[in-house]
Amino acid sequence: MTGLGREGMSECNTRRPVSLLDVAKAAGVSRATASLVLRQSPLVADKTRLRVVEAMQSLGYIYNRGAANLRRNRTGTIGLVLNNIGSPFYSALMAGVDEVNEDGSVVTLVANSVDSPDRQIRQIRRLREHNVDGIILCPAIGSDETLAVELARLDLPCVQALRHVELLGGDYVGADYRSGIEKAVRHLVGSGHRRIVFVGAMALHSAARERNEGFRHATGLHGLEGGLVVAGGPDNVYDVAAFDRLLKTRNSPDAAVCYNDVIALNVMNRLRSLGRQPGRDFAVIGMDNLPQAAGAFPALTTIDTRPHEVGRKAAALLQKRIAQPGLANGEHIIVPPSLIVRQSCGETSAAA
Amino acid sequence: MTGLGREGMSECNTRRPVSLLDVAKAAGVSRATASLVLRQSPLVADKTRLRVVEAMQSLGYIYNRGAANLRRNRTGTIGLVLNNIGSPFYSALMAGVDEVNEDGSVVTLVANSVDSPDRQIRQIRRLREHNVDGIILCPAIGSDETLAVELARLDLPCVQALRHVELLGGDYVGADYRSGIEKAVRHLVGSGHRRIVFVGAMALHSAARERNEGFRHATGLHGLEGGLVVAGGPDNVYDVAAFDRLLKTRNSPDAAVCYNDVIALNVMNRLRSLGRQPGRDFAVIGMDNLPQAAGAFPALTTIDTRPHEVGRKAAALLQKRIAQPGLANGEHIIVPPSLIVRQSCGETSAAA
DNA sequence: TGCCCGATTTGGATCGATCTATATCCGTCG
DNA sequence: CGACGGATATAGATCGATCCAAATCGGGCA
């Protein structure tokens, strides 16, 4: 009763962490005032503020955000759910998110769905338990209404990034894959190519479908002999046998637009194995502009889908949603991609 | 006074989240019992447990870990401080950390120091405020005693990864860069190379110094004409001019061990510009085994430093420290690297 | 002197879980 | 019949901040 029983022996064995109450006592003010100082309130007199700040420093006070969160019902954290945490593409996205978050002093909790809808739901739940204020979600392949139901239940602002699932609705930030592929085809056509193959086609998620559509649309636009498409799948694979066969046909293609850079690099290697020299006998264009594209041989022409920028935009949008939960959502922000011309698409053959 | 004032109109406009108290009331038990159910305590009767679980489900209860943390003084989160969040190398590390964390149902808060000691300290503080249970730190270049002081002040379990700062002491998990470089040199010597250059030498952090030492030691061991070293710096650069000059000397080197894969790829491209064919006229070995190494042309021989495994080990060690804070720390776990032989080091010339 | 008002300060309730010590139940045994 | 003990259940304090309404202070003015 005489002092809460902890005054007795300061600097004793049981090092209890310094709380705001300790600071307040040391500064001779109330908890409430000390709290106001913490939050830079203009209500406290400068003299008092100074005293409190000094007490904080001398005691080595550390702000306990967790305690504050409980009351404020806001944590200053967001969740980022990726399908493949180890991929450079996603780390660029994450870097963008982190940049914006740091400005808003928000921290990022990362989770990996490994493109499994079940894991995805588990991860989202886990993040929710940690009271993230919102999440940025790159939806896993095969996401279905279970996800929509769960998100509704959790009542959590959610921005989709890179891919979007129609039935979720809501906000989305992604690249314009469609126009990206179209740019690539236009460039090749401009360099005199007429037989262009799209390598790595699949329809497992929106980003893939948009690329396919972009290719179909572009070939139509330029009146190319359509239908030169080689199938692909997740994990950066493509149907190598089909590609090989296609190359052996009369009137075989002399240019490829690839689903992404990794496939493009594989295609270049395959071409060499088949005795063709990428960038000279055969033009190759990739997509994503991964770091390895510039260093490849020949340096890979590619469509930069700017994942870093997508990350920035997604984080900013999520911040907006968190700040004003009432607003109608459903915004779609589409980042325009750009074509980075390097050697793999045979600059020289432009004259042909 | 008649029921805390929230019973009156259930399902009304002010959707207060469901708390454990609500669940308890609905199940006709006390908060304490409901809490025991949450934590799978064997103390509750099966009949009761069932009732509580049903109440949770029908009310759509969501566990508020933040509230629990306040009391338990443990959050189930760790911080991961990286120097370059966008790099594939670090994302591999992160993937490893995440794997282990997920098994222990721990979540990762990432922060990016961008190799700036100031930012690094800010990030660590920020993580600490969020009450992470510990951190995995890849110390920034130029980390000094300020960091040591801060870490001591925060009183937080900390495992260093990939690089270590001597004056911090404590736990460390990293690759055996020294022996990795030695393996590379041995392999080249075994293939008949005698004039080997180390490209990208620098001494900005422990991982770099260990590579340098490894090279010095290996050249001594094999009685090579030593001293063939080309300087390097952060951000994957090396002294291109010096490298070019070296190649023009009489008795110029015919093999290079590079600081990392990115530099190795640049070196391969540079060699081609200078009219040499990597993998045939000149052997190149990289370090790290980034995804792009396998896809390069020629496929890059490299030393796999296994960042994913380092991440796993670091996360596991940190969990141990968190579980048993008393234990003396200062463990050094060194992951053995392995040499991945591909085409860039000229398999064929082994016969020469 | 007394009253009013803006500028500060503060007590006490609150967020939602966990922990500790205590209470209750119920069958069994002396 | 009462005591005992194992099995369950619970009340109340607690973690460390924030929020709200109310108290206090200190001049200035009538």
Do the Cβ atoms of A60 and B153 come within 8 Å?
yes
d(CA B99, CA B87): 18
Do the Cβ atoms of B63 and A105 come within 8 Å?
no
Chosen from A129, A150, A300, A308 to mutate, greatest number of chain B CBs within 10 A: A129
Q: What's the pLDDT score for residue B15?
A: 65
Do the Cβ atoms of B86 and A91 come within 8 Å?
yes
Mean pLDDT calculated for residue range B255-266? 97
CA-based nearest distance B276→chain A, Å: 14
Chosen from A292, A312, A344 to mutate, greatest number of chain B CBs within 10 A: A292
Write the single-letter amino acid at B184.
Answer: A
For B137-159, write each residue's pLDDT tens digit. Answer: 999 999 999 999 999 999 899 99
B246 CA vs D18 C1’ separation (Å): 67
Residue nearest to nucleotide C20 (CA to C1'): B32
Q: What's the pLDDT score for residue B347?
A: 64
d(CA A23, CA A94): 38
Q: Residue B323: CB partners within 8 Å, gap ≥ 6?
A: none
Q: What's the pLDDT score for residue A351?
A: 36
For B41-92, write each residue's pLDDT tens digit. Answer: 999 999 999 999 999 999 999 999 999 999 999 999 999 999 999 999 999 9
Which strands make up the sheet holding B237-238, listed edge to edge? B237-238, B229-233, B196-201, B255-258, B283-287, B301-304, B338-340
Q: What's the pLDDT score for residue A173?
A: 98
Is residue B247 very low, low, confident or very high in pLDDT (cuts 50, 70, 90)? very high
Do the Cβ atoms of A98 and B107 come within 8 Å?
no
In this structure, what are the phi and psi dihedrals at residue A311, rounded to the nearest 5 degrees? -60, -45
User: What letters, b where the CB count within 10 A reaches 16 and e where it falls short, cover B168-180?
Assistant: bebbbbbbbbbbb
Do the Cβ atoms of A266 and B95 come within 8 Å?
no
Nearest one of B164, B174, B178, B233 to B201, comparing CA atoms: B233
Residue with tokens 């503020």: A49
d(CA B130, CA B82): 17
Chain A residues close to B262, C-beta within 8 Å: 291, 295
Residue in B with minimal Cα distance to A110: B108
Mean pLDDT calculated for residue range B304-316? 98
Strands A229-233, A237-238: parallel, antiparallel or unpaired by DSSP?
antiparallel
Q: Which residues does residue B172 pair with via DSSP β-bridges, in sequence order?
A: B160, B332
Chain B residues close to A105, C-beta within 8 Å: 126
Say which nucleotide is closest to residue B62, CA to C1' distance: C16
Is residue B327 very low, low, confident or very high in pLDDT (cuts 50, 70, 90)? confident
B22 CA vs C11 C1’ separation (Å): 28
DSSP B140: P
d(CA A283, CA A281): 7
Residue A231 buriedness (CB in 10 A; 0-12 / 13-18 / 19+): middle
Is residue B348 very low, low, confident or very high in pLDDT (cuts 50, 70, 90)? very low
Q: What's the pLDDT score for residue A5?
A: 34
Q: Considering chain B, what is the average pLDDT of its residues?
A: 92
The DSSP H or E segment spanning B94 is helix B88-103
B193 CA vs C25 C1’ separation (Å): 85
The DSSP code sequence of B275-320 is T--BTTTBEEEEES--HHHHHSSSPPEEEE--HHHHHHHHHHHHHH
- Asked if strand D comes closer than 7 Å to A248 Cβ, the answer is no
Q: What's the pLDDT score for residue A64?
A: 96
Chain C bases near protein CB atoms (7 A cut-off): 7-21
Residue B204 buriedness (CB in 10 A; 0-12 / 13-18 / 19+): middle
Among A92, A155, A266, beta carbon nearest to B86: A92
- What string of pLDDT tens digits covers the 352 residues of chain A? 333 333 333 334 456 889 999 999 999 999 999 999 999 999 999 999 999 999 999 999 999 999 999 999 999 999 999 999 999 999 999 999 999 999 999 999 999 999 999 999 999 999 999 999 999 999 999 999 999 999 999 989 999 999 999 999 999 999 999 999 999 999 999 999 999 999 999 999 999 999 999 999 999 999 887 679 999 999 999 999 999 999 999 989 999 999 999 999 999 999 999 999 999 999 999 999 998 999 999 999 999 999 999 999 999 999 999 999 888 889 999 999 999 999 999 864 433 3
CA-based nearest distance B199→chain A, Å: 17
Chain A residues close to B109, C-beta within 8 Å: 77, 107-109
Global pTM value: 0.92
Among B64, B128, B296, beta carbon nearest to A296: B296
- Asked if strand D comes closer than 7 Å to A39 Cβ, the answer is yes
Residue B227 buriedness (CB in 10 A; 0-12 / 13-18 / 19+): exposed
Mean pLDDT calculated for residue range B168-175? 96
The helix-helix angle for A145-154 and A117-129 (nearest 10°) equals: 0
Residue B25 has pLDDT above 80, yes or no: yes
d(CA A158, CA A162): 13
Chosen from B14, B58, B62, B103 to mutate, greatest number of chain A CBs within 10 A: B62
Chosen from B19, B78, B85, B105 to mutate, greatest number of chain A CBs within 10 A: B85
Nearest one of A211, A195, A159, A184 to A330, comparing CA atoms: A159
For B197-241, write each residue's pLDDT tens digit. Answer: 999 999 999 999 999 999 999 999 998 876 899 999 999 999 999
d(CA B277, CA B273): 9
Residue B247: HSE in the Cβ half-sphere, 13 Å Cα cutoff: 21
Three-class SS state of B89:
helix
Q: What's the pLDDT score for residue B351?
A: 36
CA-based nearest distance B220→chain A, Å: 33
Is residue B328 very low, low, confident or very high in pLDDT (cuts 50, 70, 90)? confident
Q: Which residues does residue B78 pair with via DSSP β-bridges, in sequence order?
A: B108
Q: What's the pLDDT score for residue B6?
A: 35
Among B70, B76, B269, beta carbon nearest to A70: B70
d(CA B181, CA B216): 10
Do the Cβ atoms of A65 and B108 come within 8 Å?
no
Q: What's the pLDDT score for residue B14?
A: 53
Do the Cβ atoms of A65 and B102 come within 8 Å?
no
Do the Cβ atoms of B269 and A297 come within 8 Å?
yes
Show the DSSP H helices in A155-195 as ranges: 177-190
A320 CA vs C12 C1’ separation (Å): 35
Assign residue A103 a region: left if phi > 0, alpha if psi is -120 to 50, beta otherwise? alpha
Write the single-letter amino acid at B90.
Answer: Y
Chain A residues close to B18, C-beta within 8 Å: none
